[in-house]
Structure 1
Amino acid sequence: MSNSLSRRGFGGGLAACLLLSGPARAKEVVELTWDDLLPAGVPSRPPALSGVIQHDAAPLARQQPVSSGVRTEWNGKTVRIPGFVVPLEHSGTGVVTFILVPYVGACIHVPPPPANQLVLVTTARPYEISDLFEPVRVTGALATAATATELAEIGYTLTAERIEAYKP
């Protein structure tokens, strides 16, 4: 093989490596489901929704089941997860802090799920909610962080880079 061919091959390979390792490379996004937030070996359980919820009884937050722990391997990773919005803080007409929940009505109409099934989301750009019953998909940096609100204990936080309507 001639030197000119090996140089061209090396140069092309070097250029490809630089492109793949440089800032232009897209971040790897990990697609998560709610089961992915549960510790290994913990079965997922649908919420126990039976009968009429007595809103004048104990606050829903006190009816929250105990969490079986969180998973730390997603710390600092960019993830994407679908869910429903429970607004906590607004800016103008958009929400900037909310709890992402796995099913409609969690924390509002029914007791909250365990902390490892709740994500506290913050966003710099307010998200305009058209309907609390429509799912969203949130992309951003996930971390484990125990947070207490008046609605529930929360096991994860996510700094949103993107919030979009979700079409399953």
Structure 2
Amino acid sequence: MTLGVASFTTHAEETLTLDWIDLIPESERNQFDSYGMPAVDHSTDVMKQSKVGGIRPELNGSKIKIPGFVIPLEGDENNVTEFLLVPYFGACIHVPPPPPNQIIYVRFPKGAPVQQLWDVIYVIGTLKTETVSHELAETGYVIEGTEIAEYDDL
């Protein structure tokens, strides 16, 4: 199976390490910069800009590992059980928020320790092509998280 820039061979238990650009359909990639950030024209009305955010249905059900920043949604002072994963620090605070294919809703039932979530991390789990509308943003993907790992940029 070919996923965007890189090529991966998929086996039932193999984990795909994805970059954010891999979540964007080929037909929309020209609307993003080389870092996977939406190319926003600040001189025009935000509401009139072209709509991006399509998903890649062929990724549904894949076990993946993807780096990102956490925006906590549910949990307590010690553990976060639901959060948004975004490709860059401060996403969802800026206007406009990233498109739906650049925000992942993560369900992490066993809870991730809050102190592990301040810097970029890897989230590992099963990716679903499922839309979630939250007051902060709309997401195009959901991860049923099984593991949080320290980010290494090697």
Q: TM-score w.r.t. structure 1 length?
A: 0.70
Give the secondary-structure state (helix, strand or coil) at the position aligned to 2:128.
strand
* Matched positions, count: 134
Matched, 1:113 2:98: yes
Letter aligned with residue 152 of structure 1: A
Task: Report how far residue 165 of structure 1 moved.
Answer: 2.2
**CA–CA separation in structure 2 for the residues paired with 1:28 and 1:121:** 20
Task: Report how far residue 40 of structure 1 moved.
Answer: 1.4
Output the aligned Cα RMSD: 2.8
**CA–CA separation in structure 1 for the residues paired with 2:110 and 2:48:** 33
Deviation >6 Å, runs of 4+: 62-65
Asked whether the 8 Å contact 2:77–2:114 carries over to 1, the reply is: no
**CA–CA separation in structure 1 for the residues paired with 2:69 and 2:52:** 20
Asked whether the 8 Å contact 2:84–2:104 carries over to 1, the reply is: yes
Q: Max radius of gyration: which structure?
A: 1
Which aligned pairs between 1:12-161 and structure 2 lie closer than 5 A? Answer: 27-43=13-29, 44-45=32-33, 46-47=37-38, 66-130=51-115, 133-161=118-146
Identity of aligned residues (%): 41
Task: Report how far residue 42 of structure 1 moved.
Answer: 1.9
Q: Structure 1's 119 and 149: CA in aligned 2 closer, same or farther, altered over 3 A?
A: same
**CA–CA separation in structure 2 for the residues paired with 1:110 and 1:133:** 22
Q: TM-score w.r.t. structure 2 length?
A: 0.76
**CA–CA separation in structure 2 for the residues paired with 1:47 and 1:41:** 14
Asked whether the 8 Å contact 2:53–2:102 carries over to 1, the reply is: no
5+ unaligned residues in a row in structure 1: which ranges? 1-24, 52-61
Asked whether the 8 Å contact 2:70–2:83 carries over to 1, the reply is: yes
Asked whether the 8 Å contact 2:55–2:140 carries over to 1, the reply is: yes
Superposed CA deviations along residues 25-47 of structure 1, whole A, max 9, x for unmatched, are 98210111101000113223325
2:152 is matched with: 167
Give the secondary-structure state (helix, strand or coil) at the position aligned to 1:130.
helix
Q: Structure 1's 131 and 163: CA in aligned 2 closer, same or farther, altered over 3 A?
A: closer
Task: Report how far residue 48 of structure 1 moved.
Answer: 5.8
Letter aligned with residue 149 of structure 1: H
